[in-house]
Structure formats: C-alpha cells, structure tokens
Amino acid sequence: MIVALGVTGCIAAYKAVEVLRGLQKRGASVRVVLTPHGAEFVTPLTFQAISGFPVIQEMFEPTDDPEIKHIQLAQSIDLLLVAPATANTLAKFANGIADDFLSTLYISNTAPVLVAPAMNVEMWAHPATRENVQRLRDRGVHFVDPEEGYLACRTVGAGRLAEPDEIVRRAWEIIAGATSTPAQDLRGERVLITAGPTQEAIDPVRFLSNRSSGKMGFAVAEAAIARGADVTLISGPVAIAAPEGARTISVLTAAEMYEAVKDNLAGATIVVMAAAVADYRPASAHNQKIKKNGSALVLDLEPTVDILAAVARKKADCLMIGFAAETENVIANARKKLAEKGADLIVANDVSASDSGFDVDTNRISIVSSDGVVELPLLSKVDAAEKIIDAAMKIRNARPLPTA
C-alpha cells in the first residue's frame, strides 16, 4: 500500500510524524508531500529519515526522471491523506486551485482522499470553511474532524488535530474498503453493539470508570456496516468518531446503557456487548464535591446491572456475543463467563499486554464458544473485528432469522 501524506503549514504538523509512523506500522509505504509553510514547522529531513523516501516539496524541482512527478505519484497511490489540513488547503481543494505540488496532486488524483483539518476554532466555524468542507464531502472526500480542546492560539474549542491513532485507523479503513469489496453476508441482520466505558459518579467532580477507548466495539460496528448490516451502536464516553452509517446512541452510566440496550433490543438479530461496563457504582453520589481532609475515604459500592446476563435471558433467537477483558487465566475465565452469562461467543483478551490492552490499535483475541477455543495472533482491531463477525456468522448461518 502506498500513501501520499500531505503536511501543510500548521503547528500540528509535528503530529504528522506520528501519523507517518502509524501508517508504516500497518505496512504502508509513505511518500511525504510537504508544503512550503509546512516546512516551517517540521524539516524535510525528519520526514525523509523516517519515511525512507525523498520528501516532495517543489512543483518544478529539477530531476533526471522524465515522468511528470505529480501525475506519476497520483497514479501510484492508494490514498491521499492530508494531516494537518489548513483552512487554506481546504479552500484550494474545494475550489480547484492547483498552485503547489499538494493541490495539484489532489486535482490529479483518483484514489480516495482523507483530510484531517486543524486550525483556530473561529476559522473552523467560519461559513467559508464550512462551505468548503461540505463541498468536499459532497465530492466524496473523507474527513477526520478536528477535536475540541486547548489550541495553540490559547483558545478552547473545536480545531485541534484529531489524534494520530484515529487518523491512521480511519486511513486504513478507507484503504481496506477501496482495495476490496467486503462480502455482504450481514444483509438483513440487525446488529446491536455496545462500546466504550461507563462512568459512575462519586460526586459532581469525580467518577469511577476504566481505560476502555471504545476502539474494538467501534471496529466491530464498522465491519458490520461494511458487510451490509443495519447497526445500532450504544457507546459510553469516548474520544473517537462514530462510524459512518451507524445509528449511534451516547450514554454515560451503566444504568443508562442498560436502558438503551433494552429499548433497542427488539428486532436485533446479533448483539455484541463490547462495552467495558463498570461492575460497581457508589451506593449514593454526593451532591457536592468531597473535600480532602487528610483522612481515609471509604466508598460504599453496589453492583451495577449485569447487562450481558440480563439481555442473554431475553435474547430468544438473537445471537449474543460477550467480551472478557482479563489479566490472568484468560481462557478459563472466558469459558466460565460463556457458561454463566448464556452467551453464544465470548471474545477474550489479556488487557495487561501492551499490544492488546486498552487504547491501542491492535488486539490478540481468543474466541470461545461451545465448539471450543480459537486463539488468534496479534491483529489490528479492524482485522480482529472481521474474525469476530466470521465466527458469529458461522453460528448465525445455522439458525433462521427471528420472525418480526
């Protein structure tokens, strides 16, 4: 896979180095196109040393190669990714202005295009930028929208470049979709998925939660959508963009997630419980912030509802997939969970491992069912999601669809 990575003049340009590394880890060969203003923030030598290829800067740079450089690159790439993309770059792309190598590459290119904007909050909200973004979306350009946070201009709001891991994940999803046609074996299936953590309030400032990023559940949702399913995604608080095509419901607590699952269970043919739901919550949340007084603080905790077990009791013909995040005795604990919860499959992984724990793009899973255990090697979460669906469909194909 060959990716052209455009880097434009923005303080977030330094994050493009992490994007480059992330693409390489997934097996992509990256050609960096650096605008003159981009070179004010990160030197060409940095990108050349990491990518292993000369950095493209000038439109009419002297060369012994008789090929027209931007045409040659446009014909060879699988994706044009621009991260960060400034308001100026978006305006050029939207209006067909080709006055440097990157904008000329964009207008010469037939591969998918993904842009990750980064700019001041007012620039992102300006009607001209919004119009340019919509025009590009209408042409099929993909976006990783900027996040909210503290910006370099010392303001707070939307405009900060999305996290490099999220940009890489989205880029790889687009490449996979463009280079293969996923089987539409989930057409007619209605898939209900939970993802992310829950938060249980201690007081107005503090809460109990866990380190789940939601990436695995979101990857399953994306894979199911690509294979033709009608997907409802119920997510706890996460920092990643909802998959395109999913009906997404945001919740905060375990109780809210349970109610959302109950409200959307009717008609579901496959339920994937990938959320890391808090097992306990404070028996009573304080109305005011608890003040530190030097003494030990004792919290009275009570169990939250066991959503997987509760839903499994009502599932009828629905296929039920649970997840088990473990730190020891992974397979034994997963088998126990399979029996106790009444699930059809349990997806287990060791979250104490650095490459398959929380908030990473890879996972090493074991799929446990009544037929036995399938242990898989380290995979991207996108690929792991496909394996989970494959295992589910092996069971699902032996059952009729539930009647409405």
End-to-end CA distance of the chain: 44
285: β partners = none
E strands, 236-274, are 247-250, 270-273
Please tell me the distance from the alpha carbon of residue 138 to that of residue 140, in angstroms, as a whole number. 5
Q: Tokens for 169?
A: 């994940």
CB 389 within 8 Å of CB 227: yes
Residue type, 359: D
Rounded to the nearest 5 degrees, what angle is found at the Cα of 249, between the Cα atoms of 246 and 250?
Answer: 130
What is the DSSP track for 80-112? EEEEEE-HHHHHHHHHT---SHHHHHHHH--S-
Q: Is 153 one of the catalytic residues?
A: yes
Q: Which of 153, 249, 255, 374 is catalytic?
A: 153
Rounded to the nearest 5 degrees, what angle is found at the Cα of 19, between the Cα atoms of 16 and 23?
Answer: 140
Cα separations (Å) of 226 from 177, 223, 240, 269, 307? 8, 5, 18, 17, 27
Please tell me the distance from the alpha carbon of residue 362 to that of residue 340, in angstroms, as a whole number. 28
Cα separations (Å) of 395 from 193, 321, 391, 398, 400? 18, 11, 7, 6, 10
Quickly tell me which residue has 């940009």 as its tokens: 167
Q: Tokens for 260?
A: 């959302």
Q: Coil, helix or strand for 334?
A: helix
CB 209 within 8 Å of CB 239: no
Please tell me the distance from the alpha carbon of residue 277 to that of residue 255, in angstroms, as a whole number. 10
Secondary structure of the chain: what % helix, strand, coil (to 5)? 35, 25, 40
Please tell me the distance from the alpha carbon of residue 258 to that of residue 236, in angstroms, as a whole number. 11
Q: Which residues are part of the catalytic machinery?
A: 153
